[in-house]
Amino acid sequence: MLNEPWEPLNLQGNKADFLPGEKELQRTFKAELRIMEELTTEMEEGDGDLKGIQEKAHLIVEGVIKGALDSITDMQKKEAAAAARYDVPNIKWMSCEEFTISKGLIQIEAYLKTWELHESWLHWTTYLHEEEEQYCNKYHYRVRWSIPTCRKPIPRATACVYFIIVISKIKPPTLPVEVYFLVETNKLIHRPGESRFKEKWLKDVIESKISMMEGVSF
């Protein structure tokens, strides 16, 4: 007999708390628990062959382990597929020793082509200035966006995206330049390859400017 009564685990849980693939694992556990309860009853009542009960218990343990491993593998596959769907496009940026102001313009233009924007958007890129710091030099660029139309070839408002190319003074010159960008009126700093640019950011800037202009009377 067992020294202590065996109690099944509480596997009810909240459905919203289940991880992907956990529902299947919970069903496996419940099925195994029912068999364990039957085995426990046999042992407590002294029925059944001890060796046979041990073999059944061994099979149950193997089944639970296999179910857990299959569930983990399934979750890993789903996570990998999700990461692939949301891969953020980028370009191969030049090394610090290769940098020039004109090459910076060229690479920013190449990076802008990875953005998913409607073809009606037009832009022009301008180099602004250099900022020297103790451990690096920062080169500032501006990309001004607008949507001119036949009826309004001169847009009422534009939206700017500011790029900063950082050239380190202390890191090996063969390392790639560091690049950051931020959208006008937004303090959030983005990095190519880590942030997916959204067309809505430009629209929000333009709409806020037009709204502000309409509220001003001359």
Phi-psi region of 80 (alpha: psi -120 to 50; beta: other; left: phi over 0): alpha
Region 19-41: mean pLDDT is 60
Q: What percent of the chain has pLDDT over 70?
A: 68
* 65 band by pLDDT with thresholds 50, 70 and 90: confident
Give whichever of 1-10, 34-43, 150-159 has the largest mean pLDDT. Answer: 150-159
Higher pLDDT, 211 or 4: 211
**Mean pLDDT score of the chain:** 80
Give the length of the chain: 218
pLDDT of residue 125: 97
* Residue 40 near residue 6 (C-beta atoms within 8 A): yes
* 68 band by pLDDT with thresholds 50, 70 and 90: confident
Tens of pLDDT, residue by residue over 110-148, are 999 999 999 999 999 999 999 999 999 999 999 999 998
Region 55-82: mean pLDDT is 71
From 124, 108, 112, select the one nearest 179 (Cα to Cα): 108
* Residue 155 near residue 130 (C-beta atoms within 8 A): no
What is the SS3 assignment for 129?
Answer: strand
pLDDT of residue 145: 96
Give per-residue burial for 138-162: e unless 16+ CB within 10 Å, then b: ebebbbebbbeeeeeeebeebbbbe
* Residue 31 near residue 11 (C-beta atoms within 8 A): no
* 27 band by pLDDT with thresholds 50, 70 and 90: low
User: Token pair of 210, please?
Assistant: 């037009």
* 159 band by pLDDT with thresholds 50, 70 and 90: very high
pLDDT of residue 201: 95
Q: What phi, psi does 41 have (nearest 5°)? A: -60, -40
Helix axes of 22-45 and 50-85: crossing angle, nearest 10 degrees: 170
Run of H or E including 138 = strand 136-146
Q: Which range has the worst mean pLDDT, 47-51, 136-140, 151-155?
A: 47-51
What is the SS3 assignment for 155?
Answer: coil
